[in-house]
Amino acid sequence: MTHPLITRLTTEFGYRELHTMCDVAAFTEGAGYHAIFVPGDIARNLETPDVAVILPELRQAFQGRFDCAVASDSVEEELRETTKVRKTPSVIFYHEGEMIGGIPKVRDWSEYIERITQILALPMAAE
């Protein structure tokens, strides 16, 4: 069962739900920056709803500099293995098809801001 705060990401904010690695590729290969929310097991990850609330706020703080999607259960394991960001919940960042960083678990606001700023400033991500 999906948590209402995760459902809110797709219904209220219009984040795409990714069901296959083809969906992941189609989402991440577009121009610009992309963030995929990997919720993990809701029953075991009590931080998942927190990250589901924080992600839209982060997107707003960065003035929409990245778009967002949600990884479904069917793609989570392969996504975690291919990116090596294994802990959940996590947010994995891409720039035009290349994974450029990930932030596992819930963090303090200041740490999110610092880490995302660093991720978006990587030479690989320079526009």
Q: What is the pLDDT of residues 48-106, one digit of tens each?
A: 999 999 999 999 999 999 999 999 999 999 999 999 999 999 999 999 999 999 999 99
Measured CA to CA in angstroms, residue 96 lies from 25, 31, 47, 51, 120 at distances of: 10, 5, 29, 24, 12
Q: Strands 98-104 and 90-95, how do they pair?
A: antiparallel
CATH topology of domain 4-121: Glutaredoxin (3.40.30)
Look at residue 1 and tell me whether its pLDDT is greater than 70: no
- What's the pTM? 0.93
Please give the pLDDT value at position 127. 45
Helix (H, G, I), strand (E, B) or coil at 35: strand
Please give the pLDDT value at position 123. 63
Question: Could you tell me the residue ranges of all domains in the chain?
Answer: 4-121
